[in-house]
Amino acid sequence: MAQYFVVEFTPLIVHLSIFFILLYYAKKYSIFEYEKLKIAKIYTSAAVMFMVIFTVENLFHFSIAKLFLFINMGFAIYIMMIKVFGTFSNDNMEFLMQPVPVKSRKYRRIAEIFLLGYGIRNVFQKQE
């Protein structure tokens, strides 16, 4: 039983270790500014998603056929938690839309609904 615990949590421990090492050097050399509250919101969203998916996977047992369902459910939970915490702002949306081709910018409204929490009423209003 203990070996399964180690195997399942090793990637989490490795990622957290790498994050804190990078954070240490970023602070030491002042090469990156960050908002502690936003980082906490992102990690809390990821932790909630992990706990829900981990619980559901243990209840229904993992299979390749259910993998697609687990991935979609994890994505939906993560987006919902980001929306609840209000993690993204308009500046973040501009940053996320930079690599998107100009022709595909019409899908920006869909991303705003999911990430910024804009209601359906705002979709049909003209942008100024």
pLDDT at 4: 63
Which residue range is the domain that position 12 belongs to?
Answer: 1-34
Rounded (5°) CA angle 51-53-59: 100
Give pTM, 2 decimals: 0.55
Confidence of residue 2 (pLDDT cuts 50, 70, 90): low
pLDDT at 128: 44
- Is 103 found in the same domain as 53? yes
- Is 96 found in the same domain as 80? yes
Highest-confidence range of 14-18, 57-61, 102-106, 120-124, by mean pLDDT? 14-18
Separation CA 27–CA 31 (nearest Å): 7
- Is 53 found in the same domain as 28? no
- Is 39 found in the same domain as 94? yes
- Is 103 found in the same domain as 80? yes
pLDDT at 125: 43
pLDDT at 83: 77
In-domain check, residue 128 = no
In-domain check, residue 48 = yes
- Is 50 found in the same domain as 24? no
Confidence of residue 17 (pLDDT cuts 50, 70, 90): very high
- Is 50 found in the same domain as 101? yes
pLDDT for 22-64, tens place per residue?
A: 888 888 888 877 778 888 888 888 899 889 988 888 888 778 8
pLDDT at 5: 63
- Is 103 found in the same domain as 61? yes
Confidence of residue 105 (pLDDT cuts 50, 70, 90): low
Number of domains the chain contains: 2
- Both tokens of 104, joined, read 């595909």
Neighbouring residues of 57: CB distance < 8 A, sequence distance ≥ 6? 70
- Is 51 found in the same domain as 23? no
